[in-house]
Amino acid sequence: MGLLTGKRILVTGAGKGIGAATAILCAREGARLVLAGTTSANLERVAAEIHAAGGEGRVHQVDVADASAVRALLEFSISELGGLDGAFNNAGIDGPLCPTAEYPEADFDRVLAVNLKGVWNCMRYQIPALLQAGGGSIVNCASSLAEVGQYNMSAYCAAKAGVLGLTRTAALEYGSQAIRINAVSPGVTETSMMTTMMDANEGLREVLVEAEPIGRLASPDEIAEPVVWLLSDRASYALGTNVVVDGGYLAK
């Protein structure tokens, strides 16, 4: 038996990075999956890896900032999986690096639309599906930057702090109805989001590694582990919490 045997799980942003690693681990632990994201080719690649290992993953393209597209994603998930037991709301973007007063308004709006409203869009259609199933687990992807500020990342930090607010509030509202809603906060993780930023800014990798008490960056697999635990029944008393997996960054 895997940790998620028999569970029907939706993962957003599943085409690469943390979402892909989590989808693959969920499948290995016995879940049947819907993989959602913006880029079909990436999603199909992850689905092929899951199928090759004997798992099940259906692909659906979505922009989580678009409420009607998220509603269609939930209809697809329920019809393909026969219901829903859990979700990892992971899709996110970083936005440009820019001081607060100079942050381009369109980028500010887009980062909030994807990283914060996107999580709400997902939860507002997932919660009725989980109530229908008699309960379930939602994990929202926040960040260590939900808890502290970071130079030139005002929109990102504001959105991720908002994800914690949404998570805690929804957890209070639905916890007594067997829906556990929690957050995971990764530290700097080796995904294209970060490698693109590090490649564009000479010396940034060294600065980021230096800031991590553990002395290195995370691999996506190291973030997937606590997500799978929170999605599983083994996390039965975890509600409204934020599992920080950041190599000690916030411990300083």
Residues with a known catalytic role: 156
CA gap 157, 96 in Å, rounded: 12
Comparing CB distances to ligand NAD, the nearer of 7 and 16 is: 16
Site residues for ligand NAD, 163-202, by CB under 6 A, read 186, 188-189, 191-194
The correct pick among 22, 77, 90, 154 for binding ligand NAD (CB under 6 A) is 90
Comparing CB distances to ligand NAD, the nearer of 157 and 176 is: 157
92 lies in the site for ligand NAD, by CB under 6 A: yes
Contacting residues for 92 by C-beta, under 8 A, at least 6 apart: 13, 114, 115, 118, 141, 193
Q: Which amino acid is at 8?
A: R
24 lies in the site for ligand NAD, by CB under 6 A: no
CB of 234 to ligand NAD, least distance (A): 23
CA gap 162, 242 in Å, rounded: 13
Tokens of 45: 């690649």
DSSP character at residue 204: H
Give, in order, the Cα–Cα distances in Å from 209 to each of 21, 205, 219.
22, 6, 13
Instruction: Report yes or no: 235 and 137 within 8 Å, Cβ to Cβ.
Output: yes
Site residues for ligand NAD, 223-252, by CB under 6 A, read none
Comparing CB distances to ligand NAD, the nearer of 39 and 177 is: 39
Stretch of 35-43, 52-60, 77-85, 235-243 contacting ligand NAD, by CB under 6 A? 35-43
CA gap 227, 19 in Å, rounded: 10
Comparing CB distances to ligand NAD, the nearer of 192 and 201 is: 192
The correct pick among 3, 9, 73, 91 for binding ligand NAD (CB under 6 A) is 91
Q: Which amino acid is at 155?
A: A
Number of CB atoms found within 10 A of residue 149's CB: 11
The correct pick among 64, 129, 164, 231 for binding ligand NAD (CB under 6 A) is 64
Q: Which amino acid is at 21?
A: A
CB of 17 to ligand NAD, least distance (A): 2
Stretch of 12-20, 123-131, 173-181, 225-233 contacting ligand NAD, by CB under 6 A? 12-20
- Residue 244 — φ and ψ, nearest 5°? -90, 125
Comparing CB distances to ligand NAD, the nearer of 63 and 107 is: 63
CB of 168 to ligand NAD, least distance (A): 17
Site residues for ligand NAD, 112-131, by CB under 6 A, read 114, 118
- The burial class, CB within 10 Å (0-12 / 13-18 / 19+), for 184 is buried
Q: Which residues bind ligand NAD (CB under 6 A)?
A: 12-13, 15-19, 37-39, 42, 62-65, 90-93, 114, 118, 141, 143, 186, 188-189, 191-194
